[in-house]
Amino acid sequence: MNPVTPAHADSLRALLSPDRVLTSDEDILPYSFDGTAALKVKPGAVVFPKTSEEVAACVKLAREADIPVVTRGSGTGLSGGSVPILGCLVICLTQMDQILELDEKNLTLKAQCGVITKEIDDLAAKSGLFYPPDPGSMKISTIGGNVAENSGGLRGLKYGVTRDYVMGVQVVLPDGTLTWLGNKCVKDVAGYSMKDLFIGSEGTLGIITEVLIKLLPRPQSRKTLLALYDRMEAAAETISAIIAAKIIPCTLEFLDRTTVQCVEDYAKIGLPTDVEALVLMETDGHPAVVREEAEQMMQLARAHGARDVLVAADEAEGARLASARRNAFSALARVMPTTILEDVTVPRTELAHMVGFIRACAERHQVRVGTFGHLGDGNLHPTFLTNERDHEEMHRVEAALEEIVNETLRLGGTVTGEHGVGLAKKAFVRRQLGEGSYELMRSIKRALDPQSLLNPGKIFDL
Amino acid sequence: MNPVTPAHADSLRALLSPDRVLTSDEDILPYSFDGTAALKVKPGAVVFPKTSEEVAACVKLAREADIPVVTRGSGTGLSGGSVPILGCLVICLTQMDQILELDEKNLTLKAQCGVITKEIDDLAAKSGLFYPPDPGSMKISTIGGNVAENSGGLRGLKYGVTRDYVMGVQVVLPDGTLTWLGNKCVKDVAGYSMKDLFIGSEGTLGIITEVLIKLLPRPQSRKTLLALYDRMEAAAETISAIIAAKIIPCTLEFLDRTTVQCVEDYAKIGLPTDVEALVLMETDGHPAVVREEAEQMMQLARAHGARDVLVAADEAEGARLASARRNAFSALARVMPTTILEDVTVPRTELAHMVGFIRACAERHQVRVGTFGHLGDGNLHPTFLTNERDHEEMHRVEAALEEIVNETLRLGGTVTGEHGVGLAKKAFVRRQLGEGSYELMRSIKRALDPQSLLNPGKIFDL
């Protein structure tokens, strides 16, 4: 594999335009890292195509010169998926930012990959429609990045994740071929589901240039509750009782004591800082159903030992309560120089056990961890508050992480629920998947990208 | 590739047991065809494994002897996907019929591949849970076959298809490796979604031996309506108006005049036989919402020109009205010796146009076609009533089919919405997918099954 040379940069400038090719140190610095702690590598050049054809042309040029390519949207990723390879070509897709079509009759939306995710839901909302996936980064992350990472969000249990809303993707393959996979048909079984292979492939198999998204009617109403617990087990029992009552809320989020304390320090919402668990619950849909489910959830929370249950009177108060959860990561991130955000996920029934395990593990290794996450879908974000310059502490963090991963896998869980593998989880994937499944994945990469041109070294080594 | 020899059959008998290996002509005859018209090929042997390990052992034996393998469930497929290769080994999975686990807390069910689909929903129903996909064959088809074909059904618009309910599959790969893909986590982005590659791969990449299924809470109530129209366009306008009103019914099915006449002849439901279109609508969910939506749908049907709207007073009457649709294929199948059931799907907005095109096309070629299908998801089943021995008429049928496929593709549709490609749609897939996407699919097959051991010649030729 070769680095980008000045001659390559000139070819790229001729292909795009001079202002859309960056090569100087100060220009490319912002593209040498993403949202992941402690990972930084300098690329050789950063280009900003505006069309799918320009992306294909860049890939062909890189292929002929054997230059590795790393794709990038807004760079909000938390697993190092868009961290460059030294000297590589970074294709930054933020200028491919056009929404191409809103088809209200077929409930679909077509957009270039660089459109900000929230803009899609905002436009849908104007027509009474709804794009449910809401990753924490949705105000700044791109839809193409969301699709490449198969991003989750706070509504996984009821509405699923990004994959569930992708009807089609236009991709540039490693050989520069531009092709559409999928269409507007609600049912289609003509051949393998190639789009599903690219969703969540983290830029290792192709570059997603356009997406065709499925929309839903927007829920007519929503109700927000906040339940406070002195014991995590009581919170978990409430969730089980809600599911047993055949209620599927759109949101079931929780914060542990450390996280609540940091949030209250940061956002002054007025939360009691002595609770063991704070659970945010939301139900949405038809007003009659929402009223009924909110009432049931309140009663179930009380019956299962909630110290207090706050019910938002209106949307504004609901948003205020929800801000406790929305602020969790920012609140934790300001405590210490380095924040390592984990993403383990277990079957929902194992959640209370897992939260307890994480707490005990942190105590054992004397590291500071705040845990928050998605109770409805078993996705936990234990967040290590540390300092990457304190090598001794970092060793303890790593030891704690190793134990958390082992316990996750023992419970039938996954090392990443929504952040992706990238570089950060690479060491654990083989153990999770087992040899057969792991080798299967690598054989797909070899077949589609024999030169290992796209995002080499991410997810696995070949 | 080699046929099964008596020596191979002996090895298979040693591997399983003598009563689970069939080789005599009269024994294997029932396994030489599936539900597809006019396709019949004699296999060399038919085996009935009971465990995943036995399936893996059979695949290893076939691999070493270079014998092609065709997998089969109940053989209800409509695209020739389980029609044997001459002299091949048929692995029939109907004896792998155990439901392994119902996990009410995680809303999952684990089953061997040979379990009848309806048994899964019946068991779920006992716990107030719901398995939504309902292919027409669900009383006799197997869940493994449904997953391998990514079967649809009558609830696609609201509930999606089989793929949307598969959390994991256990597969035997072409080299005999047995591996699980997926798990009970609602969110999981650890690597490529390998399970999605196998769902809908029609037995060409691996053999699905166990499945992990996602369940939903069972809807509390349901309401059925039947609207009768003198013009197809009016029916289509009703559907558009329902979607515009932000209602997503669980069922929106239609029958054309020919189909209504055949159904009435067959089932004597009391339908008027002079209507141009009959539309079955169902809404399910919370009783308050169901009442409201049923009322709205009735008014929208009347406002858009329905001659009459029948509203079922209760579940029993609802079932009677729904039987008009459930009987459509059986009613058409008894009219002529040969029934060719097509499966084209277009974006929903193109439905009225497509139905008109099919009618005009049938007239132009002087062939008899009854059309029924899924208005909500754009999936149409134009059904040719013909006689395969009448070669002259069969030529006209083929010419009409060709035109229907061309029009489908022009409208951005698919040649198969839910029946699969198999042998029946092979000629059309390349045209639909385009060169890039088609070659991508073939490169996957080559990577996973270089010997072309599993279901060779289905979907595409290598």
For residue range B132-177, list pLDDT tens digits in order. 999 999 999 999 999 999 999 989 889 999 999 999 999 999 999 9
**B74 DSSP assignment:** S
The answer on B252 and B153 residing in a single domain is no
**Inside any domain, residue B425:** no
Q: Which domain holds residue B152?
A: 99-217
The answer on A156 and A130 residing in a single domain is yes
The answer on B59 and B155 residing in a single domain is no
pLDDT of residue A64: 97
More confident residue, B329 or A87: A87
pLDDT of residue B37: 77
The answer on B244 and B201 residing in a single domain is no
For A198, which residue in chain B has the nearest alpha carbon? B192
The CATH number that applies at residue A311 is 3.30.70.2190
pLDDT of residue A251: 93
**Inside any domain, residue B404:** no
**pLDDT surpassing 80 at residue B230:** yes
The CATH number that applies at residue B229 is 3.30.70.3450
Which of the listed residues B217, B239, B261 is the one where a domain comes to its end?
Answer: B217
* A363 Cβ contact list (under 8 Å, min separation 6): none
The answer on B211 and B142 residing in a single domain is yes
**pLDDT surpassing 80 at residue A356:** yes
**pLDDT surpassing 80 at residue B299:** yes
The answer on B225 and B281 residing in a single domain is yes
**pLDDT surpassing 80 at residue A37:** no
pLDDT of residue B90: 98
**What is the average per-residue pLDDT within A252-268?**
93
The answer on B258 and B197 residing in a single domain is no
B128 touching A (Cβ < 8 Å)? yes
Cα(B224)–Cα(B216) distance, integer angstroms: 21
The CATH number that applies at residue A192 is 3.30.465.10
Give yes or no for a contact between B218 and B286, defined as CB atoms under 8 angstroms apart.
no
Q: Smallest Cα–Cα separation from B279: which of B381, B370, B372, B344?
A: B372
What is the SS3 assignment for A100-159? Answer: EEEECCCCEEEEECCCEHHHHHHHHHHCCEECCCCCCCCCCCEHHHHHHHCCCCCCHHHH
The span from the first CA to the last CA of chain B, in angstroms, equals 14
- pLDDT tens readout for residues B433-450: 999 999 999 999 999 999
B287 touching A (Cβ < 8 Å)? no
The answer on B181 and B150 residing in a single domain is yes
Closest-CA distance, B218 to chain A, in angstroms, reads: 8
**pLDDT surpassing 90 at residue B326:** no
Which of the listed residues B176, B194, B217 is the one where a domain comes to its end?
Answer: B217
- pLDDT tens readout for residues A138-158: 999 999 999 999 999 989 889
The CATH number that applies at residue B25 is 3.30.43.10
The answer on A272 and A188 residing in a single domain is no
When scoring B187, B202, B215, B411 by the number of chain A Cβ atoms within 10 A, the one with the most, hence best to mutate, is B187
pLDDT of residue A108: 97
Closest-CA distance, B422 to chain A, in angstroms, reads: 9
**pLDDT surpassing 80 at residue A40:** yes
**Inside any domain, residue A389:** no
Structural domain tally of chain B?
Answer: 3
**What is the average per-residue pLDDT within A240-253?**
93
Contacting residues of B for A181, CB less than 8 Å apart: 437, 440
**Inside any domain, residue A459:** no
The answer on B134 and B78 residing in a single domain is no
Cα(B238)–Cα(B260) distance, integer angstroms: 19
Cα separations in angstroms, A399 against A366, A380, A406: 11, 18, 11
**What is the average per-residue pLDDT within B399-408?**
96
**What is the average per-residue pLDDT within A172-189?**
96
The answer on B262 and B213 residing in a single domain is no
- pLDDT tens readout for residues A387-424: 989 999 999 999 999 999 999 999 999 999 999 999 99
Residue A198 pLDDT grade (very low, low, confident, very high; cuts 50, 70, 90): very high
**Inside any domain, residue B354:** no
Restricting to B residues 156-185, those with a Cβ less than 8 Å away from any Cβ of A are 156-157, 161, 163-164, 173, 177-181, 183-185
**Inside any domain, residue A455:** no
The whole-chain average pLDDT of chain B stands at 95
Contacting residues of B for A105, CB less than 8 Å apart: 240, 243-244, 348-349
Contacting residues of A for B218, CB less than 8 Å apart: 246
**What is the average per-residue pLDDT within A326-339?**
90
- pLDDT tens readout for residues B52-79: 999 999 999 999 999 999 999 999 999 9
Q: What percent of chain B has a predicted confidence (pLDDT) above 90?
A: 90
**Inside any domain, residue A113:** yes
pLDDT of residue B193: 98
Asked whether the beta carbons of residue B434 and residue A179 sit closer than 8 angstroms, the reply is: yes
Which of the listed residues B217, B241, B263 is the one where a domain comes to its end?
Answer: B217
ipTM above 0.90, yes or no: yes
pLDDT of residue B185: 94
Residue B401 pLDDT grade (very low, low, confident, very high; cuts 50, 70, 90): very high
**What is the average per-residue pLDDT within A333-347?**
92
Contacting residues of A for B149, CB less than 8 Å apart: 189
The answer on B311 and B264 residing in a single domain is yes
For B421, which residue in chain A has the nearest alpha carbon? A190
**Inside any domain, residue A453:** no
Asked whether the beta carbons of residue A421 and residue B192 sit closer than 8 angstroms, the reply is: no
